[in-house]
């Protein structure tokens, strides 16, 4: 307000000009970072680690004891769902091993009452995305690709973002994610160590795959 009672920009407001310039440049960068990173599935989903009713450790069972994934998740090679093992599977060992462990109380209870243990779903795709375990596992896509180093997880968490863009990364270039079918559940397998035979199988699978045009068709995942 100047002496005439009118509003005029005061002299110091000129100093704001460079500030406005800086803001004009940084604000979009900030916003893009905020939305692009802060709200991305990579930030929101990865690391989701719900508490489970039973303290089951994949690190012990897979990592230390070296059990194969398919021992428990039996349907993974035949069906869309890699079924959660029934309580009976747990009890086939735990009738003898740690039969009285406090941690296994709920398992024994479930076995006796027939009431299932309610696990919390960790890897939860939207219902309009139809993922098929069998289709992937049989084409040499390792468990590792989506679930991460399960053999090192005390409590399972989501290791990958499982977003559409993330799925497409692989569907647009599947080769690096393919390994011999025999090594699908091997967490330690290293492509650099592949034998000639294994290399040949990888190539065979690669050839049997559809073009990336088809792998990225909407109908591949959405019904």
Partner 1 sequence: MTTLTPDNLQDAASANLADDPRRRAPLVTGDQDFASVTETVTHLALRKPPRAWYIAFGISMALLGLLGVLILYLILSGVGVWGNNQPVAWGFPIVNFVFWVGIGHAGTLISAILFLFRQNWRTGINRFAEAMTIFAVVCAGLFPGIHVGRLWLAYWLVPYPNQMAMWPNFRSPLLWDVFAVGTYATVSLLFWYVGMIPDLATLRDRATTKIRKIVYGLLALGWRGSNRHWQRFEKAYLLLAALATPLVLSVHSVVSFDFAVSQVPGWHTTIFPPYFVAGAIFGGFAMVLALAIPARQWFGLKDLITPRHVDNMAKILLGVGLMVTYAYATEVFIAWYGQSPNEQFAFINRAFGQSGWAYWVMVTCNCFIPQLLWFGKLRRNLWLLWGVAVAVNVGMWFERFVIILSLERDFVPSSWGQFMPTWVDMGMLVGSFGLFFTLFLLFCRYLPMVAIAEVKTVMPQAHAGHGDKQYDDVETDESGTADYRIP
Partner 2 sequence: MKNAVTTDHRQSEPDTRQTGPAYWRSLEELAETEQFRAFVENEFPGYEPEQFTGPNRRQFLAVMGASMMLAGLSGCRRWPRRKLAPYTARPEGFVPGKFERYATAYEMAGVAKPLLVTAVDGRPIKIEGNPDHPASRGAADLYAQASILDLYNPHRLQYVKHRTGDKVAESTWSAFGKWSAERMAELEKKQGVGFVVLSEATSSPTVLRLREQLQNKLPKMQWLTWEAVHKGPNPIGLDFEESMTKLLRPIYHFDKAEVIVSIDNDFLMMHPNAVQYAREFAAGRNPDNGRMSKLIVVESTYTVTGSMADVRYAASPYRINAISEQLHKRFNGGGPCEDEVAESIYQSIKDHRGTSLIVPGFYGSHALQAWKLNQLLGNNGKTVTYTRNPDSSIASTIPDGIDTLLLIGGNAAHDDWIRTSERISGARHTIHLTHAENETSQLCDWVLPRAHYLEAWGDCRSYDGTISITQPLIHPIFEDAPREQGGRSVIELLAGLLGEKVTRDTGHKHVRQTLKPQLPDEKTWRKSLHDGLIADSQFKTVVVAKEGQRPETPNVDADFKWVLQIRPDYSLYDGRFADNGWLQELPDPITKIVWDNAALVSPADAKKLDVEHGDLINIEVAKVPENIKLALPVYVLPGQADGVITTTLGYGRTVAGPVGTGVGFSMARLREGVHEITSISKKGPKYKLATTQDHHAIDIVGMRRRGAKVGELIREQTLHDYQHPHEDHHGHGTTVPLTMFGEPDLGDPEPDYRWAMSIDLNKCTGCNACVIACQAENNIPIVGKDEVAMGREMHWLRIDRYFAGDAESADVRAVHQPMMCQHCEDAPCEQVCPVAATVHDAEGLNVMVYNRCIGTRYCSNNCPYKVRRFNYFDYHVKPHNEGHASAIHLGPPDAQQHKIDPVRQMQFNPQVTVRMRGVMEKCTYCTQRIQDAKITAKVEHEQGKRESAIVRDGEITPACAATCATGAIVFGNLKDKNSRVSKLHHQQRSYDILGELNVQPRTKYMKRIRNVEKMEDRTLPNEDHA
Provide the binding-site residues for partner 1, judged by CB under 8 A.
1, 5-9, 36, 40-42, 161, 163-166, 168
Give me the least distance between CB of 153 and partner 2, in Å please: 17
Query: Which one of partner 2, partner 1, none is in contact with 134 (Cβ closer than 5 to 8 A by kind)?
Result: partner 2
Give the number of residues in contact with partner 2, rule: CB under 8 A.
Answer: 51
Non-local CB neighbours of 49 within 8 Å, separated by 6+ positions: 122, 155, 156, 157, 158
Question: Taking the complex as a whole, how short is the minimal distance between the CB of residue 108 and partner 2, in angstroms?
Answer: 11
Q: From the CB of 33, what's the least distance to partner 2, in Å?
A: 19
Partner from partner 1, partner 2, none contacting 63, C-beta within 5 to 8 A by type: none
Please say whether the beta carbons of 169 and 146 come within 8 A. no
User: Can you tell me which of 26, 78, 95, 101 binds partner 2, judged by CB under 8 A?
Assistant: 78
Backbone angles phi, psi at 218, to 5 degrees: -60, -40
- d(Cα 136, Cα 215) in Å, to the nearest integer? 12
**By the rule CB under 8 A, 131 interacts with partner 2:** no
Cα(219)–Cα(163) distance, rounded to whole angstroms? 17
Positive or negative, the Cα torsion across 76, 132, 48, 181?
positive
200 makes contact, choosing from partner 1, partner 2, none, with CB < 5 to 8 Å by partner type, with none
The CA distance from 54 to 76, in Å, is 22
Please, what is the Cα angle at 78 between 213 and 200, to 5 degrees?
55
Q: 219 contacts which partner out of partner 1, partner 2, none, CB within 5 to 8 A by kind?
A: partner 2
- Please give the residues from 4 up to 43 whose contact with partner 2 meets the rule CB under 8 A: none
Residue 104 DSSP code? G
Please report whether residue 210 would count as binding partner 2 according to CB under 8 A.
yes
- Is 112 one of the binding residues for partner 2 (CB under 8 A)? yes
Q: Considering beta carbons, is residue 99 or 165 the nearer one to partner 1?
A: 165
16 token code pair: 């704001």
Please report whether residue 87 would count as binding partner 2 according to CB under 8 A.
yes
Q: Which two tokens stand for residue 149?
A: 């180093």
With CB under 5 to 8 Å by kind, the binding choice for 41 among partner 2, partner 1, none is partner 1
77 contact partners, CB below 8 Å, separation of at least 6:
70, 133, 134, 137, 138
Instruction: Give the interface with partner 2 as residue ranges (CB under 8 A).
Output: 44-45, 48, 50, 75, 77-81, 83-88, 110-121, 124, 126-128, 130, 132, 134-135, 138-139, 181, 208, 210-214, 217-220, 222-223
């Amino acid at each position: 307000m100047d002496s005439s009672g009118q509003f005029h920009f005061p002299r110091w407001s000129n100093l704001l000009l460079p500030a406005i310039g800086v803001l004009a440049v940084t604000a979009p960068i900030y916003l893009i970072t905020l939305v692009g990173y802060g709200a991305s599935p990579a930030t929101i989903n990865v690391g989701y680690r719900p508490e489970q009713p039973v303290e089951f450790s994949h690190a012990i069972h897979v990592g230390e004891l070296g059990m194969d994934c398919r021992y428990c998740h039996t349907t993974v090679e035949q069906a869309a769902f890699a079924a959660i093992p029934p309580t009976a599977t747990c009890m086939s060992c735990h009738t003898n091993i740690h039969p009285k462990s406090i941690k296994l109380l709920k398992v024994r209870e479930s076995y006796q009452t027939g009431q299932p243990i309610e696990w919390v779903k960790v890897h939860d795709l939207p219902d309009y995305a139809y993922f098929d375990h069998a289709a992937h596992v049989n084409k040499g896509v390792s468990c590792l690709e989506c679930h991460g180093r399960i053999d090192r997880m005390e409590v399972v968490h989501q290791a990958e973002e499982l977003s559409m863009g993330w799925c497409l990364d692989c569907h647009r270039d599947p080769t690096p994610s393919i390994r011999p079918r025999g090594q699908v559940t091997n967490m330690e397998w290293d492509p650099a160590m592949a034998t000639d035979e294994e290399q040949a199988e990888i190539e065979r699978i690669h050839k049997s795959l559809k073009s990336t045009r088809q792998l990225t068709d909407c109908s591949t995942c959405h019904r």
